[in-house]
């Protein structure tokens, strides 16, 4: 989550003047456009996951009243040659928060051309539609669509020219820092435990994937913060935000599909000495997905030359099953009010109304965020992965019941049960 | 010492003001020229961060009429640092409002509120009948709450503003038609006395559609109505395309360059900018 101050957080909870983006364009340490860009509309996506390398992508349409921002040359103000954007999210009535720094990857102007005929003494073009001494002048006004991605993109393009190995006293995080040191500073968030790294490790080819592997070794991921700094953040953390009824949640939806629900893992290999095939088979034996039960039979088959005996095959099949069971998740799609401080990778809590008649609190990881807006921001859509085990456990809890106390309200007539009968006769003797 | 003076220029083709800037110092200065009138502070089109050297003369083709106007010269950088100087207010007078192509000041056409002569282009009764101010509001219907959360967008300037005109002169109609056919962007200067409309004195308008109604022209009359629904927009960021006096004019008017030099003998570059014919 991006850092946010108390007042701004309070402003976010209610009606307010519309939020807006302040966008500055930079190259080589100086502004390329002296004023903030006039943003007409924008959309931003943020993804986190094991296979995501560059997480944040933004698309902006900016006004270009004098036609100077559409690029021809690479070093034009918003050309792709090294221009980066500083995005500041201004919360209406509150303060601003630094949203992102992004490298411009494309510049696509849409120009409107209107023509004016003006005098140009001496101009006599042969076979021209314009009369002599007159010239047609195009006046262009434009909107420019910019695509931009976060700064890890620069690391991604920079391949490792030669294989590299860590220094003798290197750790996982010091290696991470070394690989990206030309691009941005690295902040290690609380909860990430550094470990030593073997000198025999070899990094080859992809620099950013090497970083991803390194972060993975300390059970962490990386993502860019709002000030151009890279955060290495732990995977399992406590929720930073709660969404629910009266807590910024507009709607929540989900979908269950049959795809990829295996219940038997078959690992095959070849015995190194006898060339006989070896085989390990592991199934789910209980529960709704059990092998041969109502779910049926759905096998996952893995074959490798590296598997050389039956024990290995069986052990790997167990590993595959456990990985599958721990990755079982329910994906919730949340529509929420603007949540500018949120980042993919954050852990949140969703209070979800269920048919049983109460709220259930699901913890989950935000795997993607998409936001968009024009003169006023639109909603925010979050994709949240809630682990299957957590969901099943949460469905079995009635959290509201913990607030039941022994205190009873006063007994009044309107609280009487319907079968109590009619009111006792009142004697009007005080008239 | 940076100094700025403003003056009313001869009203051809339309009302204009001249702004003389002196004392910037030798070397490049970066200057923005702002116009202040009716509590509106607006940069002159094309004069944001304009490079100048020591002195300059700027023509304001968009000056509001019949109201006090002053000009602020903001020196952003220059030989003697940054500075901010405001001129004494002036009032550019005019009998009528004006309509023109913002990029071609020569197209200016007077518009009156009340018709007095056949040649007058007058506002019809439907003009300014109502003004609309739009704004975007984004609503979030938060689960569990019966009142949506709202994000309020900025209120826009006048939209759907009708400046429909009528006229009873074939000659004026040709001029107006030429203007409206050449451009969809218009510059409009209303008179302050046109009701209590509180319109800004210098408005840039987008007119996507115009409708010409030749009321009785086909059987010999001269009455033509023009329907002009418009929306207020930002002014252009560029300068006008046709200056009042061009290099071409000089070469038409003088046979040799020596003649021009003789004309300007003893005069400064600033004098030349203000009055090219000496």
**Looking at the domain that runs over A154-234, which CATH code has it been given?**
3.55.50.10
Tell whether A379 lies on the interface with B, counting CB pairs under 8 A: yes
Other beta carbons less than 10 A from residue A173's beta carbon: 21
B154 interaction partners in chain A (CB closer than 8 Å)? 18, 375
* Nearest CB neighbour to B154, from listed A121, A353, A375: A375
Looking at the predicted structure, is the pLDDT value of residue B24 above 70? yes
What's the pLDDT at B270? 87
The whole-angstrom distance between B176's CA and the closest CA on chain A is 16
pLDDT at A413 over 80: no
What pLDDT does residue B269 have?
Answer: 85
Read off the pLDDT of residues A163-191 as tens digits, 9 standing for 90 and up.
Answer: 989 988 899 999 999 999 999 999 999 99
DSSP of A147-168, one letter per residue? EEEETHHHHHHS-EEEEE---T
- Do A15 and B153 lie within an 8 Å CB cutoff? no
What pLDDT does B77 receive?
93
Nearest CB among B138, B143, B185 relative to A376 is that of B138
Confidence of residue A220 (pLDDT cuts 50, 70, 90): very high
User: B165-185 pLDDT, tens per residue?
Assistant: 999 988 889 999 999 998 999
Measured CA angle at A364 (ends A361, A365), to 5 deg: 155
Q: Considering chain A, what is the average pLDDT of its residues?
A: 91
Percentage above 90 pLDDT, chain A: 69
pLDDT digits (tens, 9 = 90+) for A223-260: 999 999 999 999 878 899 999 999 999 999 999 888 88
Could you tell me the pLDDT band of residue A431, with boundaries at 50, 70 and 90?
low
Query: Are residues A250 and B246, on separate chains, in Cβ contact within 8 Å?
Result: no
Which pairing describes strands B161-162 and A277-283: parallel, antiparallel, or unpaired? unpaired
Tell me the nearest-neighbour CA distance from A188 into chain B, angstroms: 35
Chain A: closest CA distance from residue B238 (Å): 6
pLDDT, chain B, mean: 90
Indicate if the pLDDT at residue A418 is higher than 90. Answer: no
Nearest to A17 among B152, B183, B251 (CB): B152
Pairing of strands B149-159, A16-17: parallel
Q: What integer is the mean pLDDT of A20-47?
A: 94
Which is higher by pLDDT, A412 or A101? Answer: A101
| Whole-number pLDDT of residue A240 | 92
Cβ–Cβ gap A246/B238 under 8 Å: no
DSSP three-state, residue A353 = strand
pLDDT (0 to 100) of residue B17: 95
Residue spans of the domains in chain A: they are 6-149, 154-234, 264-327, 331-422
Name the interface residues of B facing A (CB cutoff 8 Å): 49, 101, 103-104, 136-138, 140-145, 149-154, 182-185, 234, 236-238, 241-242, 246, 248-249, 251-252
| Residue among A375, A379, A380 with most chain B CBs within 10 A, to mutate | A375
Q: Which of A65, A121, A245 sits opposite B234 (nearest CB)?
A: A65
Has this prediction a pTM greater than 0.95? no
How are beta strands B16-22 and B56-60 bridged, if at all? antiparallel
A-B contacts (CB, under 8 Å)? 95
* Closest by Cβ to A337, choosing from B104, B140, B152: B140
For residue A429, name the pLDDT band (cuts at 50, 70, 90). confident
CB contact under 8 A, B149 and A375: no
pLDDT at position A409 over 90: no
Say whether pLDDT at A370 is over 90: yes
- Residue-wise pLDDT tens digits, B123-134: 998 898 888 999
What CA–CA distance (Å, rounded) separates A222 from A329?
22
Q: Are B241 and A244 an interchain contact pair (Cβ–Cβ within 8 Å)?
A: no
Q: Which residues contact B202 (CB under 8 A, 6 or more apart)?
A: B35, B37, B40, B42, B62, B63, B64, B187, B189
Residue contact B149–A15, C-beta within 8 A? yes
First to last CA, chain B: 27
Tell me: the pLDDT tens digits for B196-246? 678 889 999 999 999 999 998 888 888 999 999 999 999 998 888 887 677
- Calculate how close chain A gets to B215, using CA atoms only, in Å: 30
Interface test with A, best of B140, B179, B186 (most A CBs within 10 A): B140
Q: Do B246 and A119 touch (CB under 8 A)?
A: yes
- Nearest partner of B99 among B57, B161, B47, judged by Cα: B161
Q: Report the pLDDT averaged over residues A86-114.
A: 93
Reported ipTM? 0.80
Q: Do B153 and A139 touch (CB under 8 A)?
A: no
Residue B72 has pLDDT above 90, yes or no: yes
Contact A92 B242 (CB under 8 A): no
* pLDDT for the residue B199: 87
Q: Which of B138, B151, B241 shows the shortest C-beta gap to A118?
A: B241
d(CA A120, CA B175): 21
What pLDDT does A423 receive? 67
For the CA atoms of A308, A313, A314, A318, the dihedral, rounded to the nearest 10 degrees, stands at: 140
- CA distance linking residue A345 with residue B131, whole number of Å: 49
Pick from A118, A137, A249: CB nearest B143: A249
- For domain B1-94, the question of CATH label 2.40.30.10 is answered with no
Per-residue confidence at A420, pLDDT binned at 50, 70, 90? low
DSSP category for residue A403 = G
A315 in reach of chain B (CB within 8 A): no
Residues B16 and B93: their CA atoms lie apart, in Å, by: 10
List the 126-165 stretch of A: residues with Cβ below 8 A of B. Answer: 133, 137, 139
Mean pLDDT (whole number) for B250-277 = 85
Is the Cβ pair A65, B236 closer than 8 Å? yes
Q: Is the peptide bond before B13 cis (omega within 30 degrees of 0)?
A: yes
| Per-residue pLDDT tens over the stretch A281-326 | 999 999 899 999 999 999 999 998 888 888 889 999 999 999 999 8
Q: What percent of chain B has pLDDT over 90?
A: 61
How many Cβ atoms are within 10 Å of A246's Cβ, its own excluded?
Answer: 11
pLDDT above 90: residue A210: yes
Which residue on chain A is closest to B149 by alpha carbon?
A: A15
CB contact under 8 A, B242 and A119: yes
């Amino acid at each position: 989550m991006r850092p946010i101050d108390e007042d701004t957080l309070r402003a976010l909870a209610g009606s307010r003047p519309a939020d807006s983006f302040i966008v500055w364009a930079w190259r080589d340490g100086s502004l390329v456009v002296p004023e903030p860009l006039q943003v007409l509309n924008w959309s931003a996506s943020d993804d986190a996951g094991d296979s995501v390398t560059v997480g944040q992508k933004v698309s902006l349409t900016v006004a270009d009243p004098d036609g100077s921002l559409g690029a021809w040359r690479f070093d034009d103000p918003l050309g792709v040659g090294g221009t980066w954007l500083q995005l500041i999210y201004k919360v209406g009535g509150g303060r601003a928060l630094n949203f992102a720094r992004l490298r411009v990857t494309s510049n696509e102007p849409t120009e409107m051309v209107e023509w004016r005929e003006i005098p140009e003494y001496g101009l006599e073009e042969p076979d021209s539609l314009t009369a002599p001494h007159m010239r047609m002048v195009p006046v262009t006004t434009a909107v420019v669509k910019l695509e931009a991605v976060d700064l890890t993109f620069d690391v991604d393009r920079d391949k490792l020219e030669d294989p590299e190995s860590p220094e003798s006293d290197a750790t996982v995080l010091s290696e991470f820092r070394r690989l990206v040191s030309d691009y941005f500073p690295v902040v290690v968030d609380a909860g990430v435990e550094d470990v030593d790294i073997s000198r025999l490790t070899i990094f080859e080819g992809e620099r950013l994937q090497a970083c991803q592997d390194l972060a993975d070794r300390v059970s962490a991921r990386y993502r860019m913060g709002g000030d151009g700094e890279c955060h290495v953040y732990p995977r399992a953390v406590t929720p930073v935000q709660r969404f629910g009824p009266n807590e910024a949640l507009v709607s929540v939806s989900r979908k269950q599909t049959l795809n990829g629900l295996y219940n038997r893992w078959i690992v095959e290999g070849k015995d190194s000495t006898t060339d006989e095939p070896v085989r390990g088979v592991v199934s789910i034996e209980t529960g709704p997905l059990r092998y041969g039960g109502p779910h049926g039979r759905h096998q996952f088959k893995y074959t490798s030359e590296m598997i050389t005996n039956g024990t290995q095959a069986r052990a790997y099949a167990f590993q595959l099953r456990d990985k599958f069971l721990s990755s079982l998740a329910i994906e919730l799609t949340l529509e929420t009010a603007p949540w500018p401080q949120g980042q993919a990778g954050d852990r949140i809590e969703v209070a979800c109304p269920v048919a049983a008649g109460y709220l259930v609190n699901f913890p989950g990881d935000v795997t993607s965020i998409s936001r968009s807006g024009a003169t006023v921001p639109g909603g925010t859509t979050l994709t949240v992965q809630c682990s299957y085990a957590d969901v099943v456990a949460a469905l079995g809890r009635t959290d509201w019941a913990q607030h039941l106390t022994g205190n009873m309200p006063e007994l009044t007539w309107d609280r009487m049960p319907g079968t109590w009968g009619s009111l006792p006769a009142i004697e009007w003797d005080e008239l | 010492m940076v100094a700025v003076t403003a003056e009313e220029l001869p009203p051809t083709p339309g009302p204009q003001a001249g702004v003389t800037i002196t004392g910037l110092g030798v070397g490049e200065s970066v200057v923005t020229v702002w116009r202040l009138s009716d509590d509106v502070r607006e940069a002159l089109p094309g004069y944001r961060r304009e490079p100048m050297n020591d002195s300059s003369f700027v023509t304001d083709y968009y000056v509001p009429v019949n109201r006090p106007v002053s000009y602020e010269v903001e020196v952003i950088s220059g030989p003697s640092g940054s500075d901010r100087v405001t001129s004494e207010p002036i009032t550019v007078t005019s009998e009528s409002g004006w309509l023109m192509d913002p990029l071609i000041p020569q197209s200016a056409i007077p518009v009156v509120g009340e018709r007095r002569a056949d040649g007058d282009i007058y506002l019809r009764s439907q003009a300014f009948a109502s003004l609309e101010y739009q704004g975007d509001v984004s609503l979030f219907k938060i689960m569990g709450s019966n009142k949506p959360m709202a994000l309020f967008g900025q209120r826009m300037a006048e939209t759907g503003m009708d400046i429909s005109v009528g006229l009873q002169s074939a000659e004026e109609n040709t001029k107006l038609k030429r203007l409206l056919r050449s451009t969809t962007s218009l510059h409009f200067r209303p008179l302050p006395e046109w009701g209590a409309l509180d319109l800004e004195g210098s408005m840039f308008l987008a007119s996507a559609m115009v409708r010409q109604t030749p009321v009785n022209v086909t059987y010999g009359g001269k009455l033509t109505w023009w329907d002009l629904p418009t929306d207020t927009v930002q002014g252009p960021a560029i300068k006008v395309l046709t200056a009042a006096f061009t290099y071409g004019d000089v070469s038409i008017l003088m046979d040799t360059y020596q003649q021009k030099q003789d004309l300007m003998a003893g005069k400064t570059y600033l004098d030349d900018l203000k009055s090219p014919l000496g």
